[in-house]
Amino acid sequence: MKRAISSVVCWSLVSSLMPMDVWARKLPPADFGQMYSLASSGNLGSLMAAASRGLDLDAPNEDGDSGICVAIKRHDIKAYNTFIKAGASVHPMCVNYMDTAKYKRFMASSSVVKYSDYPTSFQPRENYDWAIVGVATAVTLGVGWVIMNAN
């Protein structure tokens, strides 16, 4: 009986340490244009759903610009706001290479969502997956230890 229980605990531990959805996260988008189109249309739900399935909101286009940088360059406030609400990085590397005056002018707009208005509750779920895995692992090991030392 103890051998069966220890096998179940071991397999539970292995499966909780390597959930496939965690390993598959942060894949590049299949098409940058499609991702930007979702943001530009203000389709927050679809963008966040795609991010939770592995869409990297900070993936660069062929010019090395993330969606945030493209939105700033195009003065596309709706796309910028949608990316921020979906959890994209507020200061991707490409911002450092942008015209400072243009960046400041864009950010000064009253329509631009400030990151502080959207705390971590708007971050995609995968940011918390490792904490969930850690708790599940601890519970599995604790239950296994109690069962093994019951007699």
Q: Could you tell me the residue ranges of all domains in the chain?
A: 2-148
State both tokens at 6. Answer: 């220890």
Query: pTM for the full model?
Result: 0.59
Rounded Cα–Cα distance for residues 40 and 133 (Å):
34
| pLDDT at site 126 | 47
Are 81 and 73 contacting, i.e. CB atoms less than 8 angstroms apart?
Answer: no
pLDDT over 90 at 28, yes or no: no
| pLDDT at site 74 | 92
